[in-house]
Amino acid sequence: MITYAVVSTKGGVGKTTLTANFAAILADLGLRVLMVDADLQPSLSRYYEYSLRAPKGLSHMIMSGAVSDDCISKLSLRPAHCTVPRLPSGTPQGQLDIIASDGPDGTLQQWLGARIDRGARIKTPLHNPWVADRYDIVLIDTQGAVGHLQDAAVLAADILISPVCPDILSAREFTSGTLELLERLEPSANVGLAVPPMKAVIYRTENTVDSRALSSVIREQFVQLRGRVSVLETQVPSAVAYKKAATNQIPVHWMDPVRAGDTMHRLCWELAPMLQGVRTSDVEQTSPAEPAVEAAE
């Protein structure tokens, strides 16, 4: 099982959209995926339609220190109200579930603030055999503001994913914010909570000379991070398909299987190398009893 956390110290950079679409293509490729909405503004919890809504969620997991069936909701990638034509005829061979955010009033942050073990309150319940037996991938969406909940999500991950927009102010803000985050959490290694490596994704690029030039500048900015952050080759363009997919509560690789689909596949192959070269069309030819990606089992 691999745990990813999508993190940024700046809000509004596309963390939730990236999390939802990365999770959906992983499920479509045959993996069992659990999303965790660790944001007090529960956008991820509203992204896809529910086929079964659990009575509990994030607060129960964190406060009890365990994941149980009553805090895991089931999602449907094919909502009943969707009017988009030409959706894939098959169904995802994998599984997509979510632990929904349920503490918007700030009580969870206050509760964590009083706990000496607050840094481990997400890692402990997720990194146990009960979860590992049921899921191949865990994806945590985080809040944009610095706080105990963001710190706990970072320390729960094996790999951090951070979207950064191709403008110079965002690049500078990313560099300074990421440095602060890494330096703040580095002492956690003394208690066995190491800060994982970070993969930056240049996000919402445009097909212009300025955008391409800024993407190069962003890559140069990461020299300041002393090798603790690497930049993915795949860039996610600014495209209307992502907004349309969110509106219709479907994955973007279903909305635009050519351009967005190609982007999401390449992003998936970089972040999950065991899936290199596998496409959703390949999985549709496979029986559910014979997963196409044996390495992820």
Question: Measuring CA to CA, which residue among 246, 219, 229 is closest to residue 154?
Answer: 229
Quick check: 97 pLDDT over 50? yes
Quick check: 288 pLDDT over 70? no
Confidence of residue 18 (pLDDT cuts 50, 70, 90): very high
Angle, CA 16 vertex, CA 167 and CA 117 arms, to 5°: 105
Quick check: 231 pLDDT over 70? yes
The answer to whether domain 2-79+88-274 has CATH 2.10.109.10 is no
Query: pTM (2 decimals)?
Result: 0.87
Of the listed ranges 58-67, 194-203, 278-287, the one predicted with least confidence: 278-287
Question: Measuring CA to CA, which residue among 76, 19, 3, 33 is closest to residue 293?
Answer: 33
pLDDT of residue 297: 34
What average pLDDT does the chain have? 83
CA 189 to chain centre: 23
Question: Measuring CA to CA, which residue among 38, 58, 230, 67 is closest to residue 140?
Answer: 38
Quick check: 230 pLDDT over 70? yes
Of the listed ranges 141-150, 175-184, 218-227, 228-237, the one predicted with least confidence: 218-227
DSSP 3-state of 21:
helix
Phi, psi at 240, each rounded to 5°:
-65, -20
